[in-house]
Chains A and B, each alone.
Chain A
């Protein structure tokens, strides 16, 4: 009886919350929880998947997301605070980063001519944050410019860069996995923001300078890049 009441409480809570967006994996709501502005990420059932596969994947991703966020936080990387997790509805209650915009919007809204100049400091910052994350052996798994938030600081202050959306993340010390992580970002970066190759190179340089284990990772990145090109493409 008590368990049923608990299980019904989350959906009821969410039905009164403001639905911000429905992504591919989860619905994202804005609400207030414990008196604070909160984002609730609810992973819903994907109907196209076999139920057993769906349950395994959804549970695994919820757990991985929370674990990685906590690990990053302990290492001093800016990520949202985790307030609460419910494993029956696969919902994560996170701190809302109020007054932020995605790095994607930031790059897209700057004029094409200035695109590579004005954004260099930002690219360097991203490289540094990713280096810290990889040095913690956290593989984000889904690095895109939509998964990075910039919160404007006070008038004269620096803006804060947050990483979000750790649903595909896992822990690994392997340079291969870190290389693939950067490869995923490179592809997402260049396909979303055409003609920004120089900007991404800046990011990589900054990453290499900031990370203690970067040379093996960059080497793997170069290998993975070639893999796409060396693969037998029959059929």
Chain B
């Protein structure tokens, strides 16, 4: 029996989760939400995390019914992400690891998403679409690496959506993407927007600058409503994502798709991916907001896999990093 606690706080969510041999014992989380029209800055985010992290840690242990002595390993997000929030969380993880005299494990955030997705859905060897505010990658496992087959060459799809939400000043509660999704349901007019796929890669900076500039003009001139723009933006960016996923699947001969990351909560994206999968007789796997959105249990799960395959992070190697490629990690727990 192996029990791992995972600490995650690379963006505006701070979560701590505990996993015991594939069972999620607890997974509390808090989100730093900014007023409409504003994004979250590193120092404010770190301040938010510092204020709540010990409370969340207590919750994680209490909800799991465990004491520190029961934990086998302390996993934390090594990167990628925002600097000061990462440091805040790593500091607490290092401290409790030393206090409780438990081994430490620095985990790649992207791999946390993938391993959690695999655990929850039991997908065998899927093509993974990892989409969030900070990342957009199409990943497939091959020869001990999670190889990136396609990705954004500029900004992440979630970033594009979040920035559009700021332009039309919709609420960031519970998340800008969720509110865009609700508004899109009320939109009906399709407005043509730039569509950019380059081979297996995508580019979102073009559509972002286009819509940031044109949104107000289009809405105030009555050409379309904010709901129509939300609808059109989703249809366009999600089509791009489905396209590059399908290309990767065709290239690898894969019959499974797993969507992970915060944008993966979006039901329209899941619906579109489902249609594509049905046409190819492939299976679609997705999780709900508990596990799509950044959470501590996903770090615990990746940590569990790494720990059981013999990995440990020494204190002097427990630094955090803002840039940490998914394919940098040697996947020692799979063959």
A35 within 8 A of B: no
Binds B, one of A74-82, A187-195, A205-213: A187-195
B211 within 8 A of A: no
Choose one: A46, A53, A143, A233; the contact of B323 (CB below 8 Å).
A233
Q: Is the Cβ of B200 less than 8 Å from the Cβ of A47?
A: no
Total number of A-B contacts with CB less than 8 angstroms? 119
Q: Is the Cβ of B198 less than 8 Å from the Cβ of A168?
A: yes
Q: Is the Cβ of B148 less than 8 Å from the Cβ of A234?
A: no
* CB within 8 Å of B: which A186-235 residues: 187-188, 191-192, 194, 224, 227-235
How long is the Cα–Cα vector from A168 to B149 in the complex, in angstroms? 17
Smallest Cβ-Cβ distance to A50: which chain B residue: B235
Taking the closest CB of chain A, its distance from the CB of B108, in whole angstroms, is: 10
Smallest Cβ-Cβ distance to A229: which chain B residue: B323
Question: Taking A49-B239, A235-B262 as contacts, is the C-beta distance between A188 and B199 under 8 angstroms?
Answer: yes
Binds A, one of B56-64, B94-102, B245-253, B297-305: B245-253
Choose one: B81, B148, B276; the contact of A235 (CB below 8 Å).
B81
Given contacts A24-B243, A234-B10, 9 further A-B contacts (CB under 8 A): A24-B250, A53-B192, A180-B198, A184-B198, A184-B200, A187-B148, A229-B323, A233-B109, A234-B134
* CB within 8 Å of A: which B125-173 residues: 132-135, 140, 142-143, 147-156, 158-159
How long is the Cα–Cα vector from A134 to B133 in the complex, in angstroms? 35
B24 within 8 A of A: no
Q: Is the Cβ of B11 less than 8 Å from the Cβ of A235?
A: yes
Contact indicator per residue, chain B 311-326, by CB within 8 Å of chain A (1) or not (0): 0000000000011110
A sample of 17 inter-chain contacts (CB < 8 A) reads A47-B276, A48-B239, A49-B239, A50-B239, A144-B199, A187-B148, A187-B199, A188-B251, A194-B143, A228-B325, A231-B152, A232-B134, A233-B81, A233-B322, A233-B323, A234-B11, A235-B11
Count of chain B residues near A, Cβ 8 A: 58
* CB within 8 Å of B: which A15-72 residues: 22-24, 46-50, 52-53, 56-57
Chain B residues with Cβ under 8 A from A224's Cβ? 153
Taking the closest CB of chain B, its distance from the CB of A90, in whole angstroms, is: 16
Contact indicator per residue, chain A 151-168, by CB within 8 Å of chain B (1) or not (0): 000000000000000001
Q: Determine which residue in A49, A185, A233 has the highest number of CB atoms from chain B within 10 A of its CB, and name it.
A: A233
Q: Is the Cβ of B190 less than 8 Å from the Cβ of A50?
A: yes
Taking the closest CB of chain B, its distance from the CB of A53, in whole angstroms, is: 6
Chain A residues with Cβ under 8 A from B192's Cβ? 52-53, 56
How long is the Cα–Cα vector from A143 to B247 in the complex, in angstroms? 12
B197 within 8 A of A: yes
Q: Is the Cβ of B151 less than 8 Å from the Cβ of A228?
A: yes
Contact indicator per residue, chain B 104-129, by CB within 8 Å of chain A (1) or not (0): 00000100000000000000000000
B80 within 8 A of A: yes
Chain A residues with Cβ under 8 A from B261's Cβ? 235
Smallest Cβ-Cβ distance to A184: which chain B residue: B199
Chain A residues with Cβ under 8 A from B249's Cβ? 24
Chain B residues with Cβ under 8 A from A48's Cβ? 239, 242, 272-273, 275-276
Q: Is the Cβ of A232 less than 8 Å from the Cβ of B322?
A: yes
Q: Determine which residue in A22, A23, A187, A235 has the highest number of CB atoms from chain B within 10 A of its CB, and name it.
A: A235
Question: Taking A53-B239, A234-B133, A235-B294 as contacts, is the C-beta distance between A187 and B153 under 8 angstroms?
Answer: no
Question: Taking A57-B195, A146-B251 as contacts, is the C-beta distance between A187 and B149 under 8 angstroms?
Answer: yes
Chain A residues with Cβ under 8 A from B250's Cβ? 23-24
Q: Is the Cβ of A235 less than 8 Å from the Cβ of B133?
A: yes
User: When A and B form their complex, which 9 residue pairs have the shortest distance between CB atoms, in order from nearest?
Assistant: A235-B133, A235-B134, A184-B199, A233-B80, A234-B134, A48-B275, A235-B11, A48-B272, A24-B246
How long is the Cα–Cα vector from A144 to B250 in the complex, in angstroms? 12
B279 within 8 A of A: yes
* CB within 8 Å of A: which B261-290 residues: 261-262, 272-273, 275-276, 279-280
B227 within 8 A of A: no
Choose one: A46, A141, A230; the contact of B198 (CB below 8 Å).
A141
* CB within 8 Å of A: which B77-103 residues: 79-82
Taking the closest CB of chain A, its distance from the CB of B73, in whole angstroms, is: 25
How long is the Cα–Cα vector from A234 to B246 in the complex, in angstroms? 25
How long is the Cα–Cα vector from A22 to B276 in the complex, in angstroms? 13
B34 within 8 A of A: no
Chain A residues with Cβ under 8 A from B280's Cβ? 22
A135 within 8 A of B: no
Question: Taking A49-B239, A52-B192 as contacts, is the C-beta distance between A143 and B273 under 8 angstroms?
Answer: no
Smallest Cβ-Cβ distance to B158: which chain A residue: A235
B72 within 8 A of A: no
Chain B residues with Cβ under 8 A from A235's Cβ? 10-12, 81, 132-135, 156, 158-159, 261-262, 294
Chain A residues with Cβ under 8 A from B201's Cβ? 180, 183-184, 187
